[in-house]
């Protein structure tokens, strides 16, 4: 890890150590992912994304495999990929039997719903009716959403608060935006703990492609707003989140970034992300 915290005060060092202490490691439910999880710390929290091609069943199957290996699996349940309450109940029963105690509810990438759940809020209400798991998470968007207006995002998060326990921010490269989002959420009466979503140690070309595809920002706005990051992503190699995590720790230490923990988007590049984390922890000690 670069000496991002070399001149930082004790409060920032403590905040940095706390953020690095127990991050979540998000993976995608693709072939071979379970072969890579031995690289993860024992008992790690591992969210499993929704896959439009593999469906909710694919996510649930990977979550079961993770739970069987002693990890705290957090499957993403995509509203627009589910047919009805019957299918939802089957998945929830499977997860409960596997010991999965945390789910993450998203709307999903499908343009049209496959069944009776048009959005995440509808799915949250159905989950609660069927027997709510101990923990439920929902997404949030410090950098906005390429298809949803800002006022709609805020209203949606406020409505979901009654059915959720925490929110994870979408991939964002700007610590100031994350801190501003937390402040605005608190001003609006949204008290959900905020987990900061940051990229892991990921191949730069892949990260740039994913960032633009998922709408972190449209390509032109991304380049303007994140010149340093965009420049680094255009160079071959591996992106490291040192500066971003250090800046987030600075906000936490200053009292303007009320963050619960880190959520590392690994894009299944697990081993380099875990190696980075180990180096970062040593540098922060």
Ranges of the chain whose pLDDT falls below 50: 1-7, 217-223
**pLDDT at res. 212:** 61
Domains for the chain: give ranges and CATH numbers.
10-201+240-284 (3.20.20.220)
**pLDDT at res. 203:** 85
pLDDT tens-digit series, residues 88-111: 999 999 999 999 999 999 999 888
- Bridge-based pairing of strands 194-199 and 24-26 is unpaired
Please work out, in degrees rounded to the nearest 5, the angle formed at the alpha carbon of residue 102 by the alpha carbons of 100 and 108: 110
**pLDDT at res. 213:** 60
- How many CB atoms within 10 Å of residue 133? 18
Structure-block tokens of residue 194 = 């905020």
Assess contact for 133 and 127: CB atoms under 8 A: yes
pLDDT tens-digit series, residues 29-53: 998 999 999 999 999 999 999 988 8
- How many CB atoms within 10 Å of residue 134? 9
């Amino acid at each position: 890890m670069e000496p991002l915290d070399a001149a930082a005060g004790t409060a920032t060092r403590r905040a940095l150590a706390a953020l690095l202490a127990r991050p979540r490691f998000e993976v995608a439910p693709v072939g071979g992912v379970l072969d890579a999880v031995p690289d993860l710390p024992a008992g790690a929290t591992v969210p499993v994304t929704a896959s439009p091609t593999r469906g909710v069943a694919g996510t649930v199957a990977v979550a079961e495999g993770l739970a069987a290996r002693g990890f705290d699996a957090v499957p993403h349940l995509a509203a627009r990929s589910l047919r009805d309450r019957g299918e939802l109940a089957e998945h929830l029963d499977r997860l409960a039997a596997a010991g999965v105690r945390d789910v993450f509810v998203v709307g999903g990438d499908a343009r049209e719903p496959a069944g009776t759940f048009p959005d995440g809020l509808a799915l949250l209400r159905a989950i609660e009716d069927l027997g709510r798991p101990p923990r439920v998470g929902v997404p949030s968007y410090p950098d906005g959403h390429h298809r949803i207006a800002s006022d709609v995002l805020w209203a949606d998060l406020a409505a979901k608060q009654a059915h959720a326990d925490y929110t994870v921010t979408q991939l964002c490269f700007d610590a100031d935006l994350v801190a501003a989002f937390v402040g605005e959420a608190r001003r609006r009466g949204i008290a959900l703990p905020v987990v900061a979503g940051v990229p892991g140690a990921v191949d730069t070309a892949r990260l740039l492609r994913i960032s633009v595809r998922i709408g972190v920002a449209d390509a032109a706005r991304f380049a303007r707003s994140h010149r340093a990051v965009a420049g680094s992503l255009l160079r071959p190699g591996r992106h490291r989140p040192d500066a971003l995590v250090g800046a987030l720790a600075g906000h936490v230490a200053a009292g303007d970034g009320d963050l619960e923990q880190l959520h590392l988007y690994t894009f299944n590049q697990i081993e380099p992300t875990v190696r980075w984390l180990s180096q970062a922890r040593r540098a922060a000690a």
